[in-house]
Structure 1
């Protein structure tokens, strides 16, 4: 059985706690708004406050109101994860939702359920939990959506995307982090007419479903404001789409065939620019219309190679935009800086890459 450690580090005694209740933080922009943040680590590294052994997985922790929520995977006895990460098999085991005390790491509660894995990279769940208003929502790697009581882990409602929507487990599992938008919990699902599905967050009733595609991809549903309205951005392996989050109606769409379904990295908004990055098919940047929900292509990369790259081929890590510049990790570990308005590469370095260089993904 594979296991990992979840570690909390003490960065500064002056630090003011700031909740991180879902993917990319409280405002969905990957900005940490703590006070008293240090800009260098002390000699020997930050002090470890506590360490907890958990099972395998890729989910990030959600931190809210003094508790830490995350998911992991425990492989059944006499079963094993294939040595080849790309291999797909039938691997019995359980997925778990864990709630820990943020100060001590003590287990507050856990919820587990049987879950046989059939995807590649079968170490564990992918999606970061969503925490709000006394509830926790989780999405497992085989499409099990749960709403739990944040206080005790009791299941309040659930959906099985494969059984209810005819979705097929993607090659790398269900990996699009759910998005909470008011009363709606918006999920990347799959199946006929249901690339995305919005549920009532409290009772689990379907509100709308939208879009057809060969596969849903892995990119999290992303909310932006542009053209005088809120827009739900859904990027699947055949197109970039903007939807009305209240109804699921398509506002605009741009065709884009992405190899191997690798729509992964979260889109990034900066002013009126919306950036997308993929592994083989490079990047595209759209200019959003200021008067209405619409977009035009600002620039795009021309490379279709994972090695001979031009702009940014960031696959799993989400790029960051600051002061008109894009910063992101390219396909083989290069940290790159590009101009936001043109996509021109200004520099790249391996200085931040640890271990073997270059390293794929």
Structure 2
């Protein structure tokens, strides 16, 4: 099961039914709540509440009765904002704003990285590299790092996007600083504790796993996949991963603790399966790369996190094809063309819930499925959110933000509103 692949951080993350960081409590895309509906009643999900926000790609997070999300406004000046809302009512509790003109950044809608919540603090990482620690209850600034003043950051083409990770007393960010692509801060004071790697930054959020009885920080930078000591930044192992056109790792590496396998995939440069060994090393099991985004081998995933479970991988390809692969070889087992749009960068965000996989696609639909080596079974499907932002040739718009599942509800956003829909059995 995916739930075995990533261990919880050393900090206790609020309550079991919170969603305090990107992809959930353990950053593994697993939702543990019970008492949830098994099917949708109708083709349109009706929100409990709606709250007005502006543009952004960042998914919401939920902790201790509050929903956190970031956005951007451009008039009368370019500002990024961090918001907190009451999870039960949608009432805006506070907003923190800061100046953030976008320079040499494409896809300018708004912030990418979800807010990370731990021990009453909210950690927000903006598109241009602004890093803030805010009081989660009030929005008061506890500490901040400003690019060009506190840190020398080389902002990637698509902007800073890696969600901050809390590990014990540290806040670890793929921040792209000079001589510190990966930087660890004292999460209470903001002081730098260590910096590692002189690589260009990617967009991938780091994870922490268990390997050989040790906690290992796994990061996918613009040049390689690495395993680091999370307390010191010491390099344990590395796997070079070159890019033929641009740096485009966006998903986090996906780990299966039962087999010690680590899977990575990106749009242009294909996929690789790595074997992590108890002696803190790594070896390649296979690497596959198609000719281009239209002619892919194995799977070329951009934004939708894969599922690695035992002998199989389930992942979305770059034009919306959902595929099952043999984990040992990368060979395709089956392909489904019905789960999301068959357009460039077609996206699905999967979340495991018991023996089901809930998927949010880039057309704004929430889909309940079961996955197996025999195929995908769609159990229920309904519209959650309307796309509001055209991207590339997608005149009908896309929804790329990852939903949060907490308090028996699903929370998500587009470029106009944040919504909450109850998924509790009996509320439908």
TM class by shorter chain equals 0.7 to 0.9
Shift in alpha-carbon separation, 1:131–1:276, aligned structure 2, 3 A? same
Unaligned ranges ≥5, structure 2: 1-14, 347-428
Question: 1:66 maps to what in 2?
Answer: 65
Question: 1:184 maps to what in 2?
Answer: 170
Does structure 2 conserve the Cα–Cα contact (< 8 Å) formed by 1:162 and 1:169?
A: no
Question: 1:131 maps to what in 2?
Answer: 117
Question: 1:55 maps to what in 2?
Answer: 54
Unaligned ranges ≥5, structure 1: 1-15, 78-91
Q: How big is the shift at 1:37?
A: 2.1
Q: How big is the shift at 1:17?
A: 7.9
Q: How big is the shift at 1:168?
A: 2.0
Question: 2:265 maps to what in 1?
Answer: 277
Q: When the two structures are superposed, what TM-score results if normalisation uses the length of structure 2? A: 0.74
Question: 2:157 maps to what in 1?
Answer: 171
Question: 1:263 maps to what in 2?
Answer: 249
Question: 2:333 maps to what in 1?
Answer: 346
Question: 2:36 maps to what in 1?
Answer: 37
Does structure 2 conserve the Cα–Cα contact (< 8 Å) formed by 1:165 and 1:190?
A: no
Within the candidate set 271, 280, 285, 1:298 is matched to: 285
After superposition, the CA RMSD in angstroms is: 1.5
Shift in alpha-carbon separation, 1:358–1:170, aligned structure 2, 3 A? closer
Within the candidate set 229, 236, 239, 1:244 is matched to: 229
1:211 aligns with 2:211: no
Question: 1:28 maps to what in 2?
Answer: 27
Q: Please give the residue correspondences for 1:47-196 in structure 2 after superposition, counting only pairs within 5 Å.
A: 47-77=46-76, 92-118=77-103, 119-196=105-182
Secondary structure, aligned partner of 1:190 = strand
Q: How big is the shift at 1:358?
A: 3.6
Does structure 2 conserve the Cα–Cα contact (< 8 Å) formed by 1:22 and 1:130?
A: yes
Q: Deviations over 1:98-127 (max 9, x none)?
A: 000001100011111111012100100001
Does structure 2 conserve the Cα–Cα contact (< 8 Å) formed by 1:134 and 1:149?
A: yes
Question: 1:337 maps to what in 2?
Answer: 324
Q: How big is the shift at 1:192?
A: 2.2
Q: How big is the shift at 1:45?
A: 3.0
Q: Deviations over 1:19-42 (max 9, x none)?
A: 000011001110011102223211
Could you tell me how far apart the structure 2 residues matched to 1:210 and 1:17 are? Answer: 32
Q: When the two structures are superposed, what TM-score results if normalisation uses the length of structure 1? A: 0.88
Q: Which moved more, 1:321-330 or 1:47-56?
A: 321-330
1:201 aligns with 2:187: yes
Does structure 2 conserve the Cα–Cα contact (< 8 Å) formed by 1:165 and 1:194?
A: no
Could you tell me how far apart the structure 2 residues matched to 1:17 and 1:228 are? Answer: 25
Q: How big is the shift at 1:319?
A: 0.8
Does structure 1 conserve the Cα–Cα contact (< 8 Å) formed by 2:219 and 2:253?
A: no
* Structure possessing the higher relative contact order (Cα contacts under 8 Å, 6 or more residues apart): 2
1:223 aligns with 2:208: yes
Q: Deviations over 1:280-319 (max 9, x none)?
A: 11000101102x1111101111324111111110011111
Q: Deviations over 1:66-86 (max 9, x none)?
A: 110110101123xxxxxxxxx
1:308 aligns with 2:308: no
Secondary structure, aligned partner of 2:238 = strand
Does structure 1 conserve the Cα–Cα contact (< 8 Å) formed by 2:58 and 2:70?
A: yes
